[in-house]
Amino acid sequence: MFLIYCKERVNKLKNNMTFYKGIANLFHITASLFLFFVVKNELSPNHLFIFAVQTIIGSVCISLLVHHLIKSKQLILHIRQEEEKQRIAAKNMTEMLAVIDQKGVIQSCSPSHARNIGAVSTTTNFYQLIHSEDEEKVVALIQSVFTKGEEIETEFRMKHKNGYWINIEINASPFSNEHGETDHVVLVYRDVTKRKEDEEKLLETIKNFQDIRFALDESSLVQITDKHGMLIYTNEKACQLSGYSLEEIMGKPMRVFNSHYHSREFFEDLWNTVLDGKVWRGEIRNKTKSGGFFWVDTTIVPFLDKSGQPFQFINIRTDITKSKENEKKLEYLSNVDSLTSLYNRRYFDRMLQQYWVSMMQSEKPISIIIFDMDSFKSYNDYYGHIKGDECLILISKKAKELLDDSKTVLARYGGEEFSIILPGIDAKESYYIADCIRAEIESLKIPHRKSEVNTYVTLSLGVASIVPKKDIEPNEVLKLADKALYQAKNNGRNTVVSNDVTLCSTI
C-alpha cells in the first residue's frame, strides 16, 4: 500500500512538472519577444509591464520546477529503498504468501512458498496442493472469502515439495479491484507441523499424567502441601480415610492428623530430610476426625524451585492400617503362649534384656519371680491333661489380675512354670507380690487330692532382686530366682523364698 501511495505521488508530481514546464516555455517565448522589440526599438511602457510580470511568473515557475524535480528524485530514491527492503524481507520471511484468483490459480507467491511448496507457473492451482481429506473444507472457506469479502483462518495439510505432508495454518484475506469486487485472495500461511507434534506430545503427556493421577487416586492418598506444611490439595480417598470433608481440611496444617504416637525426633528427621530437598519414606500413624487411628506408608517428595529450594511437598500415602493390625496380631501371637494368653519365654527373654539395660542406666533394681504349681504331674495323672490345662489357665488369669502395672511382664516360661519381670521393684516389695500370688491361688481352693502339701492347688515361688551392673549378665538374676524356687520346694512347697534366704509364710 505504501508503494502504491508513493507511485501516486510520483504521478502527481509528473503532472505538476508538465504544468510548470509549460509556464517556463512561455517565459522563454516572452523573453525572446522582449529582445525582438528592443532590437526594433518598438518597446512601449505597456510592453515593459507585461514583460516584467511575465518575467516574475517565469522565475517562480522555474524555481518551483527545480524544487519538484528535487522532491521527485528524493521520492523515487525512497521508493527504491523501500522496494529493496521489502524484497529482502520477502526473500527471508518464513511465512508463505500466495495470491490466487477465483479458480484457485496462483498468480504470485513469496520466495518462501517456492522453498517449501515448490515453484509455481501460471497454471499452478493452489487447491491441488491440499490433502484430499481437507480439500473440500478449505475450498469452501476460500470461496466464502470471494463471496462475502471476509477474512478466514483455518488449518489443513499441504504437500511439501519433497513429497510429505505438512500442517499449515492459513489466513485468507480478500483483495478488491477498483470496482470494490473481490477478484483475488491473499493467502498468508505458515508451517505448524512442529507445533502440532508438540501439541500432540503435550496432550499425550497430559493424558498419561491423568492416567497416573487416576491410578494414584484409586490406590493412594495424595496430598500436596506448601513449604510450611499447609494443605493445598487432597484427593477424595484421603478425605474418606481421615473422616474430614474437603472444605474442613483445605488450608489446614498436616499436624491436624498427628496422633502423638511418634516422637518429636521422628518429625524433626522428616522435616530435615524434605527441607534438604530429599525424599522421605516411612510409616506414620495418623488420627481421624473422630479420634480413631490409621497407619499410612508415606513417601514425601519435595518440589524444588529454580534455586533448588523446596516450595511444595507431595505426600503419596498408602493405607496400611489392616496390615499393621495383622502385623500386630502376628507379633502378639509370636510373643504369646497359646494356652494361657500370657507372654511366652521368647518375649520374656527379650524384655529382660531391654529392662536390664534400662535399669542399669537409671541404677534401679530389677526383680524376677519364678513359680510353678506344686505336684503338677500328680494332678495331670489323676485329673487328666484337659483339667491340667484348665488349672494352668486359672492360675495365669489370677496372677495377671494381681499384676496391673503395665511395665510388668508375666510369662509362661515352660510347662507349669511361670516367670515375672518387675522393673524398678526391690527385693522386699517383690517378696510381698510373690506371697500375694501364693495366697490368692490357694484361696481359689482348686481341688488337688494328690497334693503332698494340701488338698488344694498351691504354688512355690522363688524371688531374686538385683541392681544391674555392666559386669553382670541378665541370666544371673534368673539363676538366683530359680535357685530360690528350688529352695522353696525343699522347704515343703506352698512358700516363697527370696534369693537364698527362706522367708516362709504361715501355712
Strand (E) or helix (H) holding 112 = helix 111-116
33/442: higher pLDDT: 442
pLDDT for res 13: 45
Instruction: Using the predicted structure, report yes or no on whether residue 345 has a pLDDT greater than 70.
Output: yes
Banded pLDDT at 1 (limits 50, 70, 90): very low
Nearest to 459 by CA among 431, 492, 482: 492
Which residues are CB-neighbours of 99 under 8 A, at least 6 positions away?
106, 107, 108, 109, 175, 184, 185, 186, 187
Q: How far is CA 404 from CA 214, 351, 427, 432, in A?
A: 50, 17, 19, 15
List the grid coordinates of 483: 535357685
Instruction: Using the predicted structure, report yes or no on whether residue 23 has a pLDDT greater than 70.
Output: no
Banded pLDDT at 10 (limits 50, 70, 90): very low
Least confident range of 26-40, 173-187, 291-305: 26-40
Q: How far is CA 464 from CA 135, 149, 184, in A?
A: 102, 110, 114
What is the rounded distance in angstroms from the CA atom of residue 419 to the CA atom of residue 437?
12
Q: What's the average model confidence in pLDDT over 490-499?
A: 92
Instruction: Using the predicted structure, report yes or no on whether residue 88 has a pLDDT greater than 70.
Output: no
270/83: higher pLDDT: 270
What is the rounded distance in angstroms from the CA atom of residue 410 to the CA atom of residue 355?
14
Which residues are CB-neighbours of 8 under 8 A, at least 6 positions away?
none
Least confident range of 141-145, 274-278, 463-467: 141-145
- Highest mean pLDDT of the ranges 16-25, 42-51, 436-445: 436-445
pLDDT for res 197: 82
pLDDT in tens, 362-386: 999 999 999 999 999 999 999 999 9
What is the crossing angle of helices 45-92 and 2-40, to 10°?
160
Phi, psi of 414 (to 5 degrees): 155, 130
pLDDT for res 501: 41
pLDDT for res 148: 87
What is the rounded distance in angstroms from the CA atom of residue 308 to the CA atom of residue 361?
44
What is the rounded distance in angstroms from the CA atom of residue 333 to the CA atom of residue 322?
16
CA angle, residues 465, 470, 472, in degrees to nearest 5: 50
pLDDT in tens, 307-339: 999 999 999 999 999 888 888 888 778 899 989
Instruction: Using the predicted structure, report yes or no on whether residue 178 has a pLDDT greater than 80.
Output: no
Spacing of C-alpha 421 from chain mean position: 51
pLDDT for res 428: 92
- Highest mean pLDDT of the ranges 40-54, 105-119, 121-135, 409-423: 409-423
